Amino acid sequence: MTISTGDRLPEATFIQLGAEGPQEVKLSEKLAGRKVALFAVPGAFTPTCHSAHVPSFVRVMDGLKDKGVDEVICVAVNDPFVMKAWGEATGATDAGITMLADADGAFTKAIGMDFTALPVGLVARSKRYAMLAEDGVVTVLNVEESPGECEISAGEALLAAI
């Protein structure tokens, strides 16, 4: 089943690389009583993700905070080491975006956002989307038709929808 507006996000455990090494991050703890913008990409360092999607959220961080967003989270089916390096390379970490690894794709599969594109080497990855969740319930959901597009899932589009 694909997640929809009005649905509660399922429990999930992500991995984040911290000062002590890889650590588990429970999604429910990030969402409880909070307004969270969560966006997902097909892969760290891939062209559209690197040059368009993450930079769009870096650009709108202040606007999202002004609209009451407590945290912005980027999710990818990658390992936490890659996510940390990518956050540093794009300026996402400095901007305050939380970079979380859905290493085995369990969250992505649970919300019905997984896909495979063998011709470009993407297997069991996440569709490109952006959502706003309030206390764990999806209130805005923008999903791209194609993984190479970044329009309705861009930071500016999510900011305008809030």
Q: What is the mean pLDDT of the chain?
A: 95
CA distance 49 to 42: 7
Q: Which domain holds residue 124?
A: 13-161
Residue 7 lies in a domain: no
Q: What Cα–Cα distance (Å) separates residue 89 from each residue in 4, 43, 45, 50, 73?
A: 32, 14, 9, 9, 16
Indicate which CATH number applies to the domain containing 73: 3.40.30.10
* 141 — pLDDT class (breaks 50, 70, 90): very high
Q: What is the pLDDT of residue 119?
A: 79
Confidence (pTM): 0.95
pLDDT value of residue 111: 98
Residue 2 maps to a domain: no
Count of structural domains within the chain: 1
User: Catalytic amino acids?
Assistant: 49
10 Å CB burial of residue 62 (0-12, 13-18, 19+) is exposed
pLDDT at 41: 97
Domain-embedded: residue 8: no
Please give the structure tokens belonging to residue 110.
Answer: 């649970």
Residue 114 lies in a domain: yes
* pLDDT confidence of residue 115: 86
Q: How confident is the model at residue 98 (pLDDT cuts 50, 70, 90)?
A: very high
